[in-house]
Amino acid sequence: MDAFYASVEQASKPSLRGKAVVVGGLGPRGVVATASYEARVFGVRSAMPMAQARRLAPHAAYLVPRFGLYRSISEQVMGLLRALSPLVEPLSLDEAFVDLEAGGTAWDAESARLVGARLRAEIRAVTGLTGSVGLAASKMLAKIASEQAKPDGLVLIEPGTERALLGPLSVRTLPGVGPATGDHLRRAGITTVEELAEAGEDELVRLLGKAHGHALYAMALARDDRPVVAEREAKSVSVEDTYDVDIHDRVRVGLEVQRLADRCVRRLRAAGLSGRTIVLKVRRYDFSTLTRSETLRGPTDDPAVVREAAARLLDSVDTTGGVRLLGVGVSGLADYTQEDLFAQAAGERVELPAEEPEREEPAEERQGPAAERRWPAGHDVRHALHGHGWVQGSGLGRVTVRFETPGSAPGRVRTFRVDDPDLEPVDPLPLVPLPPSAPRRPEAADRGVAG
């Protein structure tokens, strides 16, 4: 998908179409999750500190992510992919590998191109968004092709043309070549994939080590035998929060760890999992990051057990200088639980309170004033008189709302008190509403592709 989060926001909000949109945490320590192509013109990029993004694009719209909506659209797209093949390997909410040959949907370059074109049309029809498709004989090349296809395009790398295509590209194009490795290679006089191949395997092993050197040499020769893996078992479940202001109070740190432990258990139970190893992550005021872990005698999804283990781990960490990030995770996952692990956890299974559900806003949004927590920028609201809209901003006891829907024209802006009884948060509207008598969507075979 193309600039996924930002594209969803533009499709949902007519007044933002064709304009710079930045999605991410809006607090002092927030980072950019996604920037629209209009915002990228100003140099805004994913993972950039939000403060830097605001300096580069001061007039862009800055919005808090709506992960629930993004996940629902992602599920629609993944469903389209699974209609093409049983081998679909999701990389994230907006990206996946698909083995078309395994699904019998493509057997040569022309059939692959036809399937890619149909897929792009289906994505637009179902979600209202654009998607880019990269077609190639390996995962590495398909990834490169999809990047070249963005935005809203299709690129096919024909068999036999791989080396010629890769040669002039930067070494940073290859998976596993980050800034540090790229700089190391540049100092050795290697800046392109062709120069990487010419350097030879022995030289790359000398420069980068055995494993990395062998892998990069193979990729420079367009060799990638990695299969598409349909299901990846989760190795761990974790949650973490970054705080606007360092936490110095040890009691507050302990309470945050307990809250994170409960959130982690909610995720475990939602996935029908349990785990044996409890992990605590602490990033201190000086950016040093510590992890501590404790392995239980058997898997559990009991919040009391996870809280107590996390508290014991916290006892071994010095937090006197302040804490900027905390995280709790569970690994060693299983699909069953072992009851009565410890005497203090004996008795009936502890249930998490129904109130205080896990929230989607970044931690910096939760830490702000109450009015901002209730009205995060970009989230959906409904007014009894004016109808559906979204929050443009809030502060000083006021909240500004633009009233529009995905299918409307750009709407009007109005400002209310944050405690206006006629204004309430609501769920997002679908980007492509189905008509009341929508016909049955054809199965894969009816569309001329195999499932």
Confidence grade of residue 26 (pLDDT, cut at 50, 70, 90):
confident
CATH no. of 68-159: 3.30.70.270
The DSSP bridge partners found for residue 323 are 247, 284
Q: What percent of the chain lies above the pLDDT cut of 70?
A: 86
311 by Cβ neighbours in 10 Å (0-12 / 13-18 / 19+) ranks as middle
What would the pLDDT profile of 170-212 be if each residue is shown by its tens digit?
Answer: 999 888 788 888 898 999 999 999 999 999 999 999 988 888 8
How far apart are alpha carbons 76 and 386 in whole angstroms?
Answer: 31
Contact 19, 37 (CB under 8 A): no
How far apart are alpha carbons 352 and 270 in whole angstroms?
Answer: 12
The DSSP bridge partners found for residue 401 are 391, 414
Note the pLDDT of residue 365: 42
Give the pair of three-digit tokens for residue 63. 């919005």
Q: Let me know if the fold of 68-159 is the same as that of 236-335.
A: no
Note the pLDDT of residue 373: 43
Domain boundaries, the chain: 4-65, 68-159, 164-221, 236-335, 374-425
Confidence grade of residue 290 (pLDDT, cut at 50, 70, 90):
very high
Would you identify the CATH topology of the domain 236-335?
Dna Ligase; domain 1 (3.30.1490)
Give Cβ neighbours of residue 94 (< 8 Å, ≥ 6 apart): 1, 4, 70, 74, 77
Confidence grade of residue 364 (pLDDT, cut at 50, 70, 90):
very low
- The second-level CATH assignment, the architecture, of 4-65 is 3-Layer(aba) Sandwich (3.40)
Contact 171, 182 (CB under 8 A): yes
94 assigned to a ligand binding site: yes
Average pLDDT over residues 153-162: 93
Give Cβ neighbours of residue 283 (< 8 Å, ≥ 6 apart): 242, 289, 290, 323, 324, 325, 326
What would the pLDDT profile of 421-449 be if each residue is shown by its tens digit?
Answer: 999 999 999 999 766 554 444 433 333 33
Residue 371 has pLDDT above 60, yes or no: no
For residue 431, give the 3-state DSSP assignment: coil
Residue 160 has pLDDT above 50, yes or no: yes
For residue 151, cis peptide bond before it (omega within 30 degrees of 0): yes
- The second-level CATH assignment, the architecture, of 164-221 is Orthogonal Bundle (1.10)
Q: Which residues of 182-214 are buried (b: 16+ CB within 10 A; e: fewer)?
A: beebeeeebebbbbbbebeeeebbebbeeeebe
For residue 181, give the 3-state DSSP assignment: helix
Mean pLDDT lowest for which of 8-12, 25-29, 197-201?
25-29
Contact 413, 419 (CB under 8 A): no
Give Cβ neighbours of residue 207 (< 8 Å, ≥ 6 apart): 184, 185, 188, 199, 213
How far apart are alpha carbons 112 and 101 in whole angstroms?
Answer: 9
Q: Which residues are catalytic?
A: 95
Note the pLDDT of residue 336: 62
Helices 250-270 + 303-315 axis angle, to 10: 140
Instruction: Give alpha helix (H) positions in 150-226.
Output: 162-166, 179-187, 193-199, 201-208, 210-220
Would you identify the CATH topology of the domain 374-425?
SH3 type barrels. (2.30.30)
C-alpha 240 chain-centroid distance: 14
* CB < 8 Å & 24+ apart, contacts of 88-96: 88/228, 88/230, 89/228, 89/229, 89/230, 89/232, 90/232, 93/4, 94/1, 94/4, 94/70, 95/1, 95/146
C-alpha 101 chain-centroid distance: 28
**Helix or strand run (H / E) with residue 22:** strand 21-24
How far apart are alpha carbons 237 and 325 in whole angstroms?
Answer: 17
Confidence grade of residue 285 (pLDDT, cut at 50, 70, 90):
confident
Contact 10, 16 (CB under 8 A): yes
How far apart are alpha carbons 141 and 192 in whole angstroms?
Answer: 16
Query: Distance from first CA to last CA of the chain, Å, rounded?
Result: 22
- Please give the mean pLDDT across all residues of the chain: 86
Contact 138, 226 (CB under 8 A): yes
